[in-house]
Amino acid sequence: MEPNQTGTQNAQLTSSSRSAVAYEQCKPEFLAASRGTLSALNIDPGLAVRTMLTAVLNAAPYRESIEKLPFCDHDLINKLEPYALGLGYANALLAWQLEGPKPTDALVEELRRTRRVLVTELELVQLRGILPEGSIKLEGTSSYNAMVQDVRAIATVFLANWGTVGPQIGGQSQHVEDALAAADQLVAALAESNQVEAKTESSQLIRLAAWNVAYRAYRELERVIDYLRFHDGDAQLIVPSLFIRGKGKRGERPVDEANGGQAEPSPAGGETPNLPITPVGPSKPF
C-alpha cells in the first residue's frame, strides 16, 4: 500500500479534548526534560505540530515495515503523535496566559495623579501649621511601591486628623478615601501581574521541553523513513522536514551546518505538506 505522498486532503487535527489528554499524559516527560539541557525553539510551534501530525498520517502505511527494523526506537516513534498534541496544548496554554491581564499602566497613572493632589494638599496644611513639617516622610515616585506608600501615609494621616485637616482642603473626604482604594487596587494588580509572569515563565519552559521531546521523536521517524524510502527519494514527501535544508544527494536530508542544522521554519524541499487546519486549543479555560 503506497502512502499519500501529497498528503491526505481531509486531514484534520484531533480534537482539543484529545490534545488535553495527551498533554496530561506527556506532562511528566515534559517536566523531566525541562530539568535538562534544551535546544531553542526556532520554529513556529503551530507549524511544528501540524507538520508532525501530518507525518504521522503519511507514515501510517509503513508501520509494519518500521516495526521490523531492529535499529530504531519504536517506543519513541509511537509517542510522536501524543508528543505533538501535547506540544500544541502547551503552546495554547502559553498563548492564553500572554493574552491575560494587561499592564497596569492606567492604574499607575491614576495613582500618580492622586499622589500629586495629596502632596499639594499636604504642603498646604503644613504651610498653615495644621500638620508639622516632616510629620510624613515621603518615598517619592521612584517605584510603584514608593507611590503606594506615600498615598497611604498621607491619606491615613489626613483621615486621622480630619477635624482640622478637612476644612483646609475642601471638607470632602471622598477623594482621600478613593486614594486609599486606588493604592490597594494597584497593589492587587501588581501581585496578579507577578503571578501571571511566573506562570508564563513556567509555561514557556514546559513548551520548550515539549518541543525538544517531540522533535526527538520526529527525528527518529525521519531517520526511519529516510532508510525505508532511500531508493525512492520521496522521504521528505512522507515526513516533511521542519526546516529549510540545502540540496544534497538523492535520498539524503542535507543540513544547514551554519545554523546547527536548522534554519527558518519552512516545509522541506519547497514542497507544501498537507497540513491539518484545525488549531490546537485547551478544552477548558485555563
pTM of the shown model: 0.56
In sequence order, which residues have a C-beta less than 8 Å from that of residue 193 and are 6 or more positions away?
101, 103, 104
- Convert the pLDDT of each residue in 189-240 to its tens digit: 777 766 666 667 888 999 999 999 999 999 999 999 999 999 999 999 999 9
**Cα angle, residue 210 at apex, residues 207 and 211 outer, rounded to 5°:** 90
User: Which three cell numbers mark 202?
Assistant: 513556567
What is the rounded average pLDDT for all residues in the chain? 80
* Spatial CA neighbour of 48 closest among 200, 205, 212: 212
Q: 58 — alpha (psi -120 to 50), left (phi > 0) or beta?
A: alpha
The sign of the CA dihedral 269, 272, 273, 279 is positive
Q: What is the band of 79 on the pLDDT scale with cuts at 50, 70, 90?
A: very high
Which of 81, 21, 73, 16 minimizes the C-alpha distance to 55? 81
Q: Exposed, middle or buried, 159 (CB in 10 Å: 0-12/13-18/19+)?
A: middle
Mean pLDDT of 106-116: 91
Residue linked to cell 516513534: 77
Sign of the dihedral through C-alpha 189, 192, 197, 198 = positive
Choice among 174-178, 219-223, 242-246 with the minimum mean pLDDT: 242-246
d(CA 84, CA 46): 10
Q: What is the largest CA-CA distance in the chain?
A: 96
- The answer to whether residue 260 scores a pLDDT higher than 90 is no
> For position 143, what pLDDT does the model report?
87
- pLDDT value at 28 more than 90: yes
Q: Mean pLDDT: which of 17-21, 33-37, 185-189, 259-263 is highest? A: 33-37
pLDDT bin (cut points 50, 70, 90) of residue 16 is: low
Residue 70 has pLDDT above 60, yes or no: yes
Beta bridge partners, 243, equal: 265
User: Percent of the chain, pLDDT > 70?
Assistant: 75
pLDDT digit string, tens, across residues 143-162: 888 999 999 999 999 999 99
